[in-house]
Amino acid sequence: MKNNNDTAQTPKELLDELQTLVTEAEAMIAGSGTEHSSDAFDSLRSRFGAAQERFTDAYAGARKKVIAGAKYTDETIRANPYQSLAIAAGIGLLIGVLAGRRSQ
């Protein structure tokens, strides 16, 4: 079921789907176990597995983007150390001025 494009893809949709699964599982647990067929449990289990795969894929994609951004930032800072230092000092000064105004 990996890379299933017709299912929820955004983080909000994934969370909504997970909340639905949890609600259904709680409803099954609240009722007696004999009322629900094994097919319902199997369906719930397979839907959870599919959601777990999509979460894993989303995590892997986000992790790759963060690592790529960190590498790019590191390369840029190493290529322009003085400019990077000046920008960091300017941002620190700006934050200091803004924080000082709020405290007055």
pLDDT tier at 72, thresholds 50, 70, 90 = very high
pLDDT digits (tens, 9 = 90+) for 90-101: 999 999 999 988
DSSP collapsed to 3 states, 69-94? HHHHHHHHHHHCHHHHHHHHHHHHHH
Q: In percent, how much of the chain has pLDDT > 90?
A: 38
Q: Tally the residues of the chain.
A: 104
pLDDT digits (tens, 9 = 90+) for 6-32: 454 787 888 888 888 888 887 777 776
Assessment of whether the complete model's pTM goes beyond 0.75: no
Q: Is pLDDT larger for residue 10 or for residue 74? A: 74
